[in-house]
Structure formats: structure tokens, C-alpha cells
Amino acid sequence: MQALEAGLPAYFGERELPGIDTVELHPSAHRTSFPLEEVQVTLVDGRRAALLRKTVSRSSLSANAAAAKREECFDARREVAVYRELLARAGLGTARLVAADGTPDGSAVWMLLEHVRGVEMYQVGAIETWRAAAAWLAAMHERLAWAAADGPASRARLLTQGPDVWRLSIQRALGSGHATLPAHTRDRLAASRGTVIAMLESMPVRVLHGDAYASNIVVDDALAPHRVCAVDWEMASRGPALLDLAALTSGSWSETAASVIADGYVDALPPSSPWRDDRRAFQTALAACRAQLAVQWIGRHPAWLPPPDALDRLEL
């Protein structure tokens, strides 16, 4: 309660509040990798705050999420650090962190976040809204570019997406993912891994959401969004910027539709970006990032099922 009382004034944009009357908690129908509760806070003057309580711990992960989020990548304190160190003053429309606390050893953390009402992108069919989400990713990558440096990245507890990670994911794909791969695809993967890694290394390093799939991006209006909000930052990292865009455009899109969405990203980049004038180089870089995501999917724990199009994305 103390953490909540300390954080609420900033939520309401005031220095002091008259006090809390009631706090109501209800299980949320929506669940990310971790359990969520809806929290309704009512002040003594009648004003209300709609919040979400998220509990982050290894033990609270669902079975499928635990398979996807390997233990070496897990840090219960990462998401809180990202909100505090990077997002709080970035002006990106992300949820406001109202309060947070955790166990002394950092193995479990709970957060109270603004409950952003809206529609998850996987429920949206309007291509212009998908372009807006892609443009938001570009804006986020540029605005947080400073935080990809060692100091800020360390304070935000970011993962690093680099050559060691990529080589390991390929080894896992050729190992645990062996049974799902036809021989010709396995041979192509083994032969092309050096090329893919070299392409990834050549790309600008940015702060990544790290899990920028459609279920983790919310818009306030499915047809004419004014606010795009990425949620669930527990896999935030630094690495090639287009890994986030590859995640957003994954799925059953036609090649034409995926290209239109991706152009929304390029069009939002600053004029100095070389990708603005060389769309072919941009598409090649994006293909490399899609291939890397496919490799990650294939190399998951056997309980984690790759999306149906994962193998197709190995074609560069």
C-alpha cells in the first residue's frame, strides 16, 4: 500500500492526493506470460485509477512461456528497470509505472501499471493501423538509441542480441529442432548461418522491445489509432533494430501486405537513414531478421510449437 500511495500522485499529475478510499482486485481475463490482476483504486474524492498488477517470477510463468523464455534470459527486475530508466520520460505512449516492489533477492517482482484500454494488434485488420504500429517501432528505436550504449543498457538490465546468441540459437535449431526440419532446409540453414550473422552484425544497434508480436502491441482505435502502446517488456534487449519489425510482421501476411507494413517503418525513419533511399537493402536486412526469428522458433523447447510459417522465413 505504501508503494501505491507514493506512486498515485504522479499518476494523477498532482503533488498530493486526499487519500485512498478503496482498492479492488480482480483476476484479469487477459494473461501475458505472467498472471495479471485488474486493480481499481478509488480516492476519497471519488476519482478512480484503473491499473494492472503484474507479478513477475520464474515460478509464475506458464509452461509454454517458460519454454520460450529460457532461464538464462530471465530477470524479474528487467521490466521495472526498463520502465524506470528508459520509458518514463520517453514520451512514447507506453503504460505508466505507478508502483513496484519485490523480494530482496530480486527473484520476484510485482508492478502496478496504467491499464491501457484498447485493441491488441492481432485483432486488427486495417493495414494502415499496422503501418502505424511499424512507425511506432521506428520512433521508439530512434528515441531510445542512446540507451543501447553499455551504461544505460546495464542500468535497464537489457539482454544483448549478438553473435553468441545467434550462434547458440542455430545450434539449438539444428539440435532440438532437428526433427521439424527437412534435410534440405537443415542443410541450407547450416550453409547460410555465417551470412545471416554477418548481416545482423552490420545493422544499427538499438533498444528492442524483444517480443514485439501483435499480441504485445495495443492501439486505442483499430481504424484510426492515436496511441500505440507496446506492453510486456520483460525481454527488452539491444540488438539489430529490425528484429522487432520482423516480429511484428510475422504470421500469415502476403508478401505484398508485409512489405506495405514494413514501409511504414522505413517512412518513419529520419532522412539520414540509408534505408530511406535503399529499400532493397532494407528488405534484405529484414529478411535476415526474419530468418533469425525462424531459427529461434525452431530451436525452442519441444513443448513450444513454432508458427506454421517459421520454415518459410529461412528463405533469404
CATH 3.30.200 occupies which residues in the chain?
A: 2-114
CATH 3.90.1200.10 occupies which residues in the chain?
A: 119-314
pLDDT in tens, 93-151: 999 999 999 998 888 899 999 999 999 999 999 999 999 999 999 999 999 999 999 99
Give the pLDDT confidence score for residue 249 in this predicted structure: 96
- The answer to whether domain 2-114 has CATH 3.30.200 is yes
Q: Quick one: cell of 6?
A: 507514493
C-alpha span between 2 and 294 (Å, rounded): 45
Indicate the fold that domain 119-314 takes in CATH. Aminoglycoside 3'-phosphotransferase; Chain: A, domain 2 (3.90.1200)
Give the pLDDT confidence score for residue 178 in this predicted structure: 58
pLDDT at 210 over 70: yes
Give the pLDDT confidence score for residue 89 in this predicted structure: 94
pLDDT in tens, 275-303: 999 999 999 999 999 999 988 887 765 54
What is the pTM for the complete model shown? 0.91
Give the pLDDT confidence score for residue 277 in this predicted structure: 93
Burial 102-126 (b: 16+ CB within 10 A, else e): beeeeebbbbbbbbbebbbbeebee
pLDDT band at 79, cuts 50/70/90? very high
CA angle 65, 70, 72 (to 5 degrees): 145
C-alpha span between 89 and 96 (Å, rounded): 10
| 53 φ, ψ (degrees, to nearest 5) | -105, 120
pLDDT at 26 over 90: yes
pLDDT at 177 over 60: no
Q: Mean pLDDT of all residues in the chain?
A: 89
The residue behind cell 528497470 is: 81
Give the pLDDT confidence score for residue 316 in this predicted structure: 45
pLDDT band at 67, cuts 50/70/90? low
**Average pLDDT, stretch 22-51?**
90
In the chain, % of residues over pLDDT 70? 90
Do residues 236 and 267 make contact, with C-beta atoms less than 8 angstroms apart? no
